[in-house]
Structure 1
Amino acid sequence: MPGDHLAQLNVGRLVAETHDPRVAEFMAALDRVNGLGKRMPGFVWMMEGSGEPGKGNTETKLDGDPRYVANLTVWESVEALEAFVWNTAHRQFYARRAEWFELMPERHFVMWRVPAGHRPTLDEGLERLAHLRAHGDSDHAFGWEFAREARLWRTRACAVAAE
């Protein structure tokens, strides 16, 4: 709807704790990739961690698990998010996610519309993800395939493990 923005939550469980050499390359790229996202046209907001270099938002532990991390952002549109995800260096890291993240047995990515100016909480995003898992795509919570405006994911997306 006009005036609305797009929120997205992506969760994952790292194969090791953030200081472990097995995830060192991923951790070392966080500031660069997040910084790139923040400079993209259409970027609005990102849930931040401590601001400590090389940590991104990995300090936000889900369910008290030091390896279960989240990324929560707001964009002006689906197209703006898509441009970042599929047309920047982010895509290269996304393609290698199996090196750093466990395969999730259920959906780990959700989008939903928010009023311009709204900053969703992590709990809000987790509720949307739970709704998507329980009920499938709807206006309340959806994935790429439900977003009519989404085009790039159809041709640029990397191999799908579990969305």
Structure 2
Amino acid sequence: MKNKDISYHIAQINIAQAKADKDSEIMSGFISRLDEIHTLADNAPGFIWRLETEDGDDGSVSVFNDPLLLINMSVWRDIDSLRAFVYKSIHIELLQDRDAWFDKMGEIHQTLWWVPAGHIPTIQEGKDKLDQIREFGPTAEAFTFGKKFPSPT
């Protein structure tokens, strides 16, 4: 039986294959906007947490054997808050220009999942959720904006 007093938040992981090292000219347009986008996220309604190093740089978090495979993870109050940030803020400009900086990935590279309020997902948890959606498609355990599932409560 589920505890009805627990509320849930939405977690997300997104990985991207950079075309070049982050110090390269190719990546400069993306890297130059990171502080702006991080500040926007940090101050966005519904934002709770994002993966970052101690100095606030999520671009330096290396979790895969490929240094050009970048990771972004965050937790938001709800799907609507996350969707508003991703698609209805200046963040959309980065999505529109992503082909300049990132190669197309041959497999699913992002997923959403529900976490109990107060839970900060680990990198391994995010990798596991990517594996789940790749193997089983969208389910209540790992899903997408296009095929979302309601909170467990």
TM-score of the alignment, normalized to the shorter chain, above 0.5:
yes
- 1:97 maps to which residue? 98
Ranges in structure 1 where 5+ consecutive residues have no aligned partner: 150-163
Identical pairs, percent: 31
Q: Confirm or deny: 8 A CA contact 1:8 1:73 kept in the other structure.
A: yes
- 1:160 maps to which residue? none
Q: CA deviation at 1:64?
A: 2.4
**Take 2:53 and 2:60, find their aligned partners in 1: how far apart are those partners?**
6
Q: Confirm or deny: 8 A CA contact 1:50 1:57 kept in the other structure.
A: no
**Take 2:65 and 2:59, find their aligned partners in 1: how far apart are those partners?**
12
Give runs of ≥4 in structure 1 deviating > 3 Å: none
Q: Confirm or deny: 8 A CA contact 1:5 1:75 kept in the other structure.
A: yes
Ranges in structure 2 where 5+ consecutive residues have no aligned partner: none
- 1:135 maps to which residue? 136
Structure with more contact order per residue of length (Cα contacts < 8 Å, sep ≥ 6): 2
Deviations 1:4-45 (A, max 9, x none): 000000001100011001000100100100110110110000
- 2:83 maps to which residue? 82
- 2:58 maps to which residue? 57
| Equivalenced residues, count | 146
Q: TM-score, normalised by structure 2?
A: 0.90
- Is 2:24 the counterpart of 1:20? yes
- 1:7 maps to which residue? 11
Q: CA deviation at 1:66?
A: 1.4
Deviations 1:106-143 (A, max 9, x none): 11010000000000011100100110000000000001
- Is 2:34 the counterpart of 1:33? no
Where 2:33 maps in the other structure, the secondary structure is helix
- 2:109 maps to which residue? 108
Task: Indicate the RMSD between aligned Cα atoms, in angstroms.
Answer: 1.5
**Take 1:63 and 1:80, find their aligned partners in 2: how far apart are those partners?**
28
